[in-house]
Amino acid sequence: MRTVIQRVKQARVTVDGLEIGTIGQGIVALLGVHTHDGPDQAAWTATKIAGLRIFADDSGKMNLDVREAGGSVLAISQFTLLGSCEKGRRPSFVAAASPEHAEPLYERVILELKALGIPVATGRFRADMLVELTNDGPVTLILDSPPTSTHTN
Protein backbone atom coordinates (compact mmCIF):
# COMPACT_ATOMS: atom_id res chain seq x y z
CA MET A 1 0.00 0.00 0.00
CA ARG A 2 1.08 3.53 -0.61
CA THR A 3 -0.22 6.08 1.85
CA VAL A 4 0.23 9.82 1.97
CA ILE A 5 0.00 11.05 5.56
CA GLN A 6 -0.78 14.67 6.35
CA ARG A 7 -0.84 16.04 9.88
CA VAL A 8 -3.82 18.38 10.01
CA LYS A 9 -5.54 20.89 12.26
CA GLN A 10 -8.83 19.91 10.64
CA ALA A 11 -10.13 18.15 7.55
CA ARG A 12 -13.37 17.22 5.88
CA VAL A 13 -14.57 15.31 2.85
CA THR A 14 -17.70 15.97 0.83
CA VAL A 15 -19.50 13.99 -1.86
CA ASP A 16 -22.12 15.70 -4.03
CA GLY A 17 -22.04 18.73 -1.72
CA LEU A 18 -22.73 16.69 1.43
CA GLU A 19 -20.13 16.40 4.19
CA ILE A 20 -19.57 12.70 4.86
CA GLY A 21 -16.48 12.83 7.08
CA THR A 22 -14.82 15.41 9.29
CA ILE A 23 -12.05 15.51 11.89
CA GLY A 24 -10.31 18.09 14.02
CA GLN A 25 -6.64 17.60 14.84
CA GLY A 26 -5.26 14.39 13.40
CA ILE A 27 -4.13 12.68 10.24
CA VAL A 28 -5.50 12.61 6.73
CA ALA A 29 -4.47 9.27 5.25
CA LEU A 30 -4.77 8.96 1.47
CA LEU A 31 -4.64 5.20 0.81
CA GLY A 32 -3.67 3.57 -2.47
CA VAL A 33 -3.81 -0.22 -2.81
CA HIS A 34 -1.31 -2.03 -5.06
CA THR A 35 -2.35 -5.07 -7.11
CA HIS A 36 -0.10 -7.29 -4.95
CA ASP A 37 -1.30 -5.99 -1.56
CA GLY A 38 -3.07 -8.21 0.92
CA PRO A 39 -4.21 -8.21 4.55
CA ASP A 40 -0.63 -8.04 5.85
CA GLN A 41 -0.03 -4.74 4.06
CA ALA A 42 -3.33 -3.33 5.39
CA ALA A 43 -2.43 -4.31 8.97
CA TRP A 44 1.10 -2.89 8.62
CA THR A 45 -0.28 0.37 7.23
CA ALA A 46 -2.79 0.82 10.06
CA THR A 47 -0.18 0.06 12.71
CA LYS A 48 2.27 2.49 11.12
CA ILE A 49 -0.32 5.29 10.87
CA ALA A 50 -1.33 4.77 14.49
CA GLY A 51 2.24 4.74 15.76
CA LEU A 52 3.80 7.63 13.86
CA ARG A 53 5.12 10.15 16.36
CA ILE A 54 4.36 13.30 14.38
CA PHE A 55 2.52 15.41 16.97
CA ALA A 56 4.23 17.86 19.30
CA ASP A 57 4.69 17.14 22.99
CA ASP A 58 4.83 19.85 25.67
CA SER A 59 8.39 20.67 24.58
CA GLY A 60 7.34 21.19 20.96
CA LYS A 61 9.10 18.02 19.76
CA MET A 62 7.39 15.47 17.51
CA ASN A 63 7.06 12.74 20.14
CA LEU A 64 3.33 11.92 20.25
CA ASP A 65 1.30 9.62 18.05
CA VAL A 66 -2.25 10.42 16.98
CA ARG A 67 -3.81 8.65 19.99
CA GLU A 68 -1.55 10.41 22.49
CA ALA A 69 -2.37 13.73 20.84
CA GLY A 70 -6.12 13.06 21.10
CA GLY A 71 -6.50 13.13 17.34
CA SER A 72 -8.47 11.27 14.68
CA VAL A 73 -7.83 9.87 11.22
CA LEU A 74 -9.67 10.77 8.02
CA ALA A 75 -9.10 7.82 5.66
CA ILE A 76 -9.58 8.44 1.95
CA SER A 77 -9.10 5.83 -0.77
CA GLN A 78 -7.00 7.17 -3.65
CA PHE A 79 -5.99 4.79 -6.42
CA THR A 80 -4.08 7.57 -8.22
CA LEU A 81 -1.27 7.19 -5.66
CA LEU A 82 -0.23 4.11 -7.65
CA GLY A 83 -0.11 6.04 -10.91
CA SER A 84 3.14 5.92 -12.85
CA CYS A 85 4.19 9.04 -14.75
CA GLU A 86 7.43 7.59 -16.11
CA LYS A 87 6.30 7.36 -19.73
CA GLY A 88 4.28 9.78 -21.81
CA ARG A 89 1.94 12.41 -20.42
CA ARG A 90 -0.93 10.23 -19.24
CA PRO A 91 -0.40 8.33 -15.96
CA SER A 92 -0.59 4.55 -16.04
CA PHE A 93 -2.61 2.92 -13.28
CA VAL A 94 -1.73 -0.73 -13.95
CA ALA A 95 -0.18 -1.05 -10.46
CA ALA A 96 -3.42 0.06 -8.78
CA ALA A 97 -5.60 -2.77 -7.50
CA SER A 98 -9.04 -3.32 -8.97
CA PRO A 99 -11.91 -1.92 -6.89
CA GLU A 100 -12.93 -5.47 -5.92
CA HIS A 101 -9.45 -6.13 -4.53
CA ALA A 102 -8.82 -2.65 -3.09
CA GLU A 103 -12.04 -1.95 -1.19
CA PRO A 104 -11.75 -4.78 1.36
CA LEU A 105 -8.14 -3.77 2.08
CA TYR A 106 -9.10 -0.11 2.47
CA GLU A 107 -11.86 -1.23 4.87
CA ARG A 108 -9.35 -3.43 6.71
CA VAL A 109 -7.10 -0.44 7.39
CA ILE A 110 -10.10 1.44 8.83
CA LEU A 111 -11.11 -1.50 11.05
CA GLU A 112 -7.54 -1.95 12.27
CA LEU A 113 -7.26 1.77 13.15
CA LYS A 114 -10.55 1.62 15.05
CA ALA A 115 -9.39 -1.53 16.88
CA LEU A 116 -6.34 0.46 18.00
CA GLY A 117 -8.69 2.98 19.62
CA ILE A 118 -8.43 5.73 17.03
CA PRO A 119 -11.55 7.62 15.92
CA VAL A 120 -11.81 7.29 12.13
CA ALA A 121 -13.85 9.25 9.61
CA THR A 122 -13.87 8.15 5.98
CA GLY A 123 -14.51 9.17 2.46
CA ARG A 124 -16.63 7.05 0.14
CA PHE A 125 -14.91 4.36 -1.89
CA ARG A 126 -15.04 5.05 -5.68
CA ALA A 127 -16.76 8.42 -5.18
CA ASP A 128 -15.69 11.74 -6.63
CA MET A 129 -14.73 13.50 -3.38
CA LEU A 130 -13.67 16.97 -2.35
CA VAL A 131 -11.15 16.86 0.49
CA GLU A 132 -10.44 20.05 2.41
CA LEU A 133 -7.74 20.24 5.04
CA THR A 134 -5.48 22.54 6.97
CA ASN A 135 -2.05 20.91 6.87
CA ASP A 136 -0.26 21.45 10.17
CA GLY A 137 3.45 22.17 9.83
CA PRO A 138 3.17 21.25 7.02
CA VAL A 139 3.93 17.64 7.85
CA THR A 140 3.46 15.26 4.93
CA LEU A 141 4.91 11.75 4.74
CA ILE A 142 4.73 8.87 2.27
CA LEU A 143 4.41 5.31 3.56
CA ASP A 144 5.03 2.31 1.33
CA SER A 145 4.18 -0.99 3.01
CA PRO A 146 6.65 -3.82 2.66
CA PRO A 147 5.83 -5.99 -0.35
CA THR A 148 4.37 -9.47 -0.12
CA SER A 149 6.79 -12.35 -0.50
CA THR A 150 5.63 -12.83 -4.11
CA HIS A 151 6.12 -9.18 -5.05
CA THR A 152 9.51 -7.70 -5.78
CA ASN A 153 10.47 -4.10 -6.51
Task: Please name the residues in contact with 138: beta carbons below 8 A apart, sequence gap of 6 or more.
Answer: 6, 7
Query: How far is Cα 146 from Cα 118, in angstroms, rounded to an integer?
Result: 23
Question: In 3-state terms, what secondary structure has residue 128?
Answer: coil
- Nearest-5° Cα angle at 147, 4 to 71: 30
54: nearest Cα among 149, 136, 144, 147: 136
List the catalytic residues. Answer: 78-80
